[in-house]
Structure 1
Amino acid sequence: MTKFKGTGVALVTPFHEDHSLDFEGLKKLIDHTVTGGVDYLVVMGTTGESPVLSAEEKKQILAKCVDYNQQRVPIMVGVGGNSTQAVLDQLDQTDFNGVDGILSVSPYYNKPTQAGIVAHYTQIADAAPVPVMLYNIPGRTMSNIEAKTTLQLASHPNIIGVKEASGNWEQCLTIAAHKPDDFLLVSGDDLMTIALNAIGGSGIISVLANAYPGRFKKLCHGTSKEQQQAAFDLIQLNSLMYLEGNPVGVKNLLKHLGICGDQVRLPMLQASEELDRKIKAALLL
């Protein structure tokens, strides 16, 4: 699935001050990232605050993203959860016109066995009308998709890759060493992109690409020197993005860049004055 190589941007969901959906801000963000050079859009992942969006809002956001994108780049949509049946129901209720893939987070909180994870994803992949990418982020789910489990799922014809955000380098190496040639190993950590690509990775699904798509174009497609410089440029900002939770940091950054507001929905809070000052001081031109 070459359409999902390079930079995927994990789009934020802009809100007005009353926390209603800001579609004008969403259009501006999509235009900013697409013209800036991202390779695909990832809609309503964790960075998009999917846990605090209603089912109707999710339908509206996806429809607007498809409309605003105008088929310029592929679209991947987040469809996941810790109830397999609920995910299957969501698949049935989603309009996949203009959608090219699904990013599905590993079941969180209930901590299934590895066999349970395989069964969960197998049912989703069997039912999904578009290809599925696994999403492994144990820091949020409290359950790791082990390398052998990822490799087992890689044999499913409708599972195309994994977004690896475990921070476990040995696990990433094992997947890279034994995966099928066409199975995508995608970084879930912006600053790990170069290292993962060096062992056979396929790019990044990025938070900071909301703000700096051009730098991520260089990070994934530039010369070796351009890749290194892009990564070095992002060191200070990357550390600030998660101090008060995601997407608090990147939304504050987008506010300073004049792209959209920094409102988030509870239980997240807008960036503190201290974080706001730090991000403003670290802005990249």
Structure 2
Amino acid sequence: MLRGVYPPLPTPFTDDDLDEGLLRDTVAALMRSRLAGLLVLGTNGESFLIEPAEADRVVRVTRDAMPEGRRLLAGTGCDSTRATLEACRRAADNGADYALVRPPTSYTRFMTQDVLTAHYEHIADESPIPVLLYNQPQVFGAELAAPTVALLARHENVAGLKDSSGNVAHVNDVLARVPDGFSVLTGVAGIMYAALLSGTSGSIVALANVVPNLCVELYDSVMKGELHRALALQRAVAPLARAVTITHGVAGLKAAMTIAGYPSSTPRLPLQPATPKVEEELLGLLRHLEAFTGWTLVGRDGQPDGPAEAQ
């Protein structure tokens, strides 16, 4: 079962080209933290803008830079079933442990629950690595309904679901229907606390690229029953979590990582870098979190966040 916190790693570019050296440095820096693993080629990894050969390099370099025992998840979703299966095979060949498969984003009017079920069953039948479903209707258009997830969860090669809908009611509906051992992970940092209390096994959240150990601390606090601490952390991180996802997107996430001292870069065109005004806002949010936690969060030069006296 997938447990713990995983960041959806942004893909580093220099002059609009994949920067393998920067990717390796970013992975090494994040893996000094208590994260359970990494996701590459997700929506925060700009997967829509990455060519298949580049995707192979991202998976291969990331796997090589990760310590043994940490899980590597790779986004492999494409609009056709055929292309998705090919991406799953390539991800497996390059070292991924799980394939995160988004729904098709074309012909969304025809992406009924029956069509989605057939699509995912075909992929699960032939993928050499376990498949994770991905629900984010506000981005992909099609929604994976709870009964559909429950049906797919019966497949021996469907291991779990990343739900980035932000809808706790939907998460609860899924959890009520799926078998024990099926991993449900929230993709929205702003509801980590509520989702974990509902029974999710972990989180795949952009915020974990910026303050990885703080996200793990929130997760651990819930697991240990320290709910007052967990709720306080949830409320404290919510503004920054929103800023690096909904408000400013990939550009804001990459800028926040740079401010926090992690290797990062600007987005790939046509996405534009964060403005100085956005950078100032992000710095203020990180300083606010520093004041709340007493942890060092700004300018750590690749060192994981933690108590100031430990830096």
Q: Would you call these one fold, judging by a TM-score over 0.5?
A: yes
Q: Which residue is 1:31 aligned to?
A: 28
- The answer to whether 1:80 aligns with 2:77 is yes
Q: Which amino acid aligns with 2:63?
A: V
- SS of the aligned residue for 2:10 comes to coil
TM-score (norm 1): 0.93
**Alpha-carbon separation, structure 1, partners of 2:167 and 2:258:** 33
RMSD, matched Cα: 1.6
1:269–1:244 CA distance, 2 compared to 1 (3 A)? farther
CA distance in 2, matches of 1:92, 1:31: 25
Q: Which position in structure 2 is the counterpart of 1:137?
A: 136
CA–CA separation in structure 2 for the residues paired with 1:209 and 1:88: 29
Answering whether residue 252 of structure 2 is matched by residue 254 of structure 1, we say: no
| Identity across the alignment (%) | 29
- The answer to whether the Cα contact below 8 Å between 1:243 and 1:249 also exists between their aligned partners in 2 is no
The residue correspondences of 1:256-271 to structure 2 (distance < 5 A) are: 256-271=259-274
Secondary structure at 2:17's aligned position in 1? coil
CA distance in structure 1 between the partners assigned to 2:246 and 2:163 by the alignment: 21
Q: Which amino acid aligns with 2:11?
A: T
- Give the TM-score, by structure 2 length: 0.86
| Conservation of the 8 A alpha-carbon contact between 1:25 and 1:259 | no
Q: 1:35 to 1:48 in 2, by over 3 A?
A: same
Unpaired runs of 5+ residues, structure 2, are 290-296, 298-311
1:30-51 alpha-carbon deviations (Å, 9 max, x no partner): 2222221111111111111111
1:229 alignment partner in structure 2: 232
* Residue 184 of structure 1: aligned partner: 183
Q: Is the 8 A contact 2:56 2:94 kept in 1?
A: no
Secondary structure of 1:250's partner?
helix
The equivalent of 1:56 in structure 2 is 53
Task: Please report how far the alpha carbon of residue 52 of structure 1 lies from its aligned counterpart in structure 2 after TM superposition.
Answer: 1.1
Aligned counterparts of 1:58 and 1:69: Cα–Cα separation in 2: 17
What count of residue pairs does the alignment treat as equivalent? 282
Indicate the SS of the match to 1:193. helix
Equivalent residues of 1:11, 1:43 under 8 A apart: yes
How far off is 1:104 after superposition?
0.7
TM-aligned CA deviation for residue 90 of structure 1: 2.2
**What letter is aligned with 2:37?**
Y
Could you tell me whether the CA contact under 8 Å between 2:76 and 2:101 is conserved in 1?
yes
Alignment correspondent of 2:170: 171
What is the identity, as a one-letter code, of the residue corresponding to 1:150?
V
Is the partner of 1:279 in helix, strand or coil? Answer: helix
- In structure 1, stretches of 5+ residues that fail to align are none
